[in-house]
Every structure is written in C-alpha cells, then in structure tokens.
Amino acid sequence: MKEYIVLTRTNGTTTKGAPFCKLQIAASSTDKFELAVWDVPETSGPKVGQKVSFYAIRENGNNKSAAGQDMRLLGDAPEDDPLYVLLPHVVKKELWDDCLDKLVAFCSDEKLISIIQGQRDELYEKYKTVPAAANVHHAFKGGLANHTYEMLHLLLGMYPVMPYPIKIERCVLAILFHDWGKIAEYAMTGDGTINTTEHMYLLGHVYISAYRLNNLLKENNVDGKEIERIVHCVLAHHGQLEFGAPVVPCTQEAQIVSFVDNISAKANVLENTASMEYNRAVATHVIKG
C-alpha cells in the first residue's frame, strides 16, 4: 500500500453527530490531496507528521474519503524519511526581518515606521504558531507567518517597478495585520490539529484584525484620515463582498493588498492540490507538470 504523510488535520462532526477528520496527505511533491476519514474521534487517529496508508480510498465526484477502519497508522516520519521533507516549515526569522528591512527603506512616515518596527518581532512570534486557514491555504502551524511573509515579499518585488506613487507604509501595516484575527479564530492542539473557535462565527477575522489595527494606530496618535486609509486596506483585503469583504478596495493601496493576498493564497492552493484534481478555491482542475 502507498504510504502518505499527514500535512494537516482538522476535526469535524457529521449532521448525525459522528466524528470525522479531514486530512491533507502527500506521497510526493506532486501527489497531495485532501480526504475525509469517517468515524475518527478527536482523540484518536493520525497526527500531523505521522505516516498513514489506506486499504481503500473512495472518490465521489471531486471528494475523496476513507473509512477509519481502512486507515493504517505507521508512526512518525523520521527526518531522514523522504516523506518528511514534504512537511511545511515556518519561514525563518532572518528572511522575515530582511524583507521588512527592505520595505522600511522605502518608507518615509516616521510614525508609521516606528509602529512597523515595534510590532515586527511580536507578530512573527505569534504568527509562527497559527495557521492561515483550516484547509484552504497555508493550513499548518506557522502558515500565517508564511502567508504574511509571502505578501510582504510580493509587495517588495512590485513596489520598485510601479510607475505611480503609493504610500507603501499603508500596505506594509495592512499586510502585517490583515489576518491578525486568525490568532483568535484558530486553536492548535499539541499534535498539530487545527480547531476553529467561536470567534470565527461571532466576529470573524476581518473585523477582529481591523479593530486591533485601528486601536493600535489610535494609541500611537496617527492622524484619523491616515487611520481610515490603512484600516480600509484590511477591511477590503478579500476583494469582493461575496468573498467576505465588508467593503471593496477603493484605493490603490487596498487593491494591492488584496491582489497580493489572492496571489499568495491561490498559489498555495495550487501547490497543494493533486494533478487533475478539482479545487473549488480556484474553480478549476489543477494541472501539474
């Protein structure tokens, strides 16, 4: 039987109250997919980094599933196992710092620079413990750090070649805080399982993030109009109302933040979808190679 490594795990319950887990598993860099494993309680079954195999995997349209009794647990993958390298790893702090150093060099607003510099270390330490999503993109411990870094790095590549002026400080701050609310939305267990909290449904990460950034800027006596422009970038980062944005981007900075968020998220979706598998997040069958 083919062996896989568990990349992510989330727990769920069917409408009839039966427990299951949703796994993202991989046998190679091009053979990754998600499947639901039925009748697996939260306290049992595979954890992230463990190897598994299946006697049978069922396909129903675009969905894959297996019965808990058809799954074999094979133990943790050692570091010299070829499957181990498939596990996602958090971006290194020196890369995070280098990217922010280069972005700050383009900034001119000393008050906003001071806020960026004052928050960068704390945000990295928090984000390296949190996923960016439960199963769509960057769904692993530290995924929020990687997603945020990718957005900052994309901005770093775009800004020098843009032929029109923008206030890059707004973009940097909005990117740093656009998903801050996911600290409240997600809770990680010791075995790497991702659980959602009531904050996701009561408030949502867009509001929580905007509220946090708004208060931080006020505490630092940033001008009210400037606060409005920066917080707008956070509120609009999903791009469209139907995608959960309370407002659509109506400034250049907000559009840029929304674009780099979309690029980072969808590139990760494509990377983690098996060839010829349909993925709803990109609304197409993914072709590899």
Greatest alpha-carbon span in the chain = 62
Predicted model pTM = 0.86
CATH assignment at residue 34:
2.40.50.140
| Beta strand segments in 70-183, E | 71-76
pLDDT digits (tens, 9 = 90+) for 183-238: 999 988 877 788 889 999 999 999 999 999 999 999 999 999 999 999 999 999 99
Residue 55: band (very low, low, confident or very high) from pLDDT cuts 50, 70, 90: very high
Regarding whether 217 and 169 lie in a shared domain, the answer is yes
Regarding whether 97 and 209 lie in a shared domain, the answer is yes
CATH assignment at residue 265:
1.10.3210
Q: What is the mean pLDDT of the chain?
A: 93
Cα–Cα–Cα angle for 118, 140, 99, rounded to 5 degrees: 35
Answer yes or no: is pLDDT of 83 > 90: yes
- Asked whether residue 289 is assigned to any structural domain, the reply reads no
pLDDT digits (tens, 9 = 90+) for 129-141: 999 998 779 988 9
Give me the number of domains the chain comprises.
2
Regarding whether 77 and 17 lie in a shared domain, the answer is yes
Residue 45: band (very low, low, confident or very high) from pLDDT cuts 50, 70, 90: confident
- Asked whether residue 156 is assigned to any structural domain, the reply reads yes
Regarding whether 184 and 56 lie in a shared domain, the answer is no
User: Can you read off the two tokens belonging to residue 271?
Assistant: 């990377």
Regarding whether 28 and 105 lie in a shared domain, the answer is no
- Asked whether residue 283 is assigned to any structural domain, the reply reads no
Residue 74, domain extent: 4-87
For the chain, the distance separating the N- and C-terminal CA atoms, rounded to the nearest angstrom, is 25
Strands 19-28 and 4-13: antiparallel
Separation between Cα atoms, residue 32 and residue 22, nearest integer Å: 13
The confidence score (pLDDT) of residue 170 equals: 98
Regarding whether 55 and 169 lie in a shared domain, the answer is no
The confidence score (pLDDT) of residue 177 equals: 98
pLDDT digits (tens, 9 = 90+) for 149-193: 999 999 999 999 999 889 999 999 999 999 999 999 998 887 778
Distances (CA, A) of 129 to 23, 86, 90: 19, 19, 9
Answer yes or no: is pLDDT of 288 > 90: no
- Asked whether residue 281 is assigned to any structural domain, the reply reads no
Regarding whether 208 and 184 lie in a shared domain, the answer is yes
SS3 160: helix
Regarding whether 100 and 75 lie in a shared domain, the answer is no
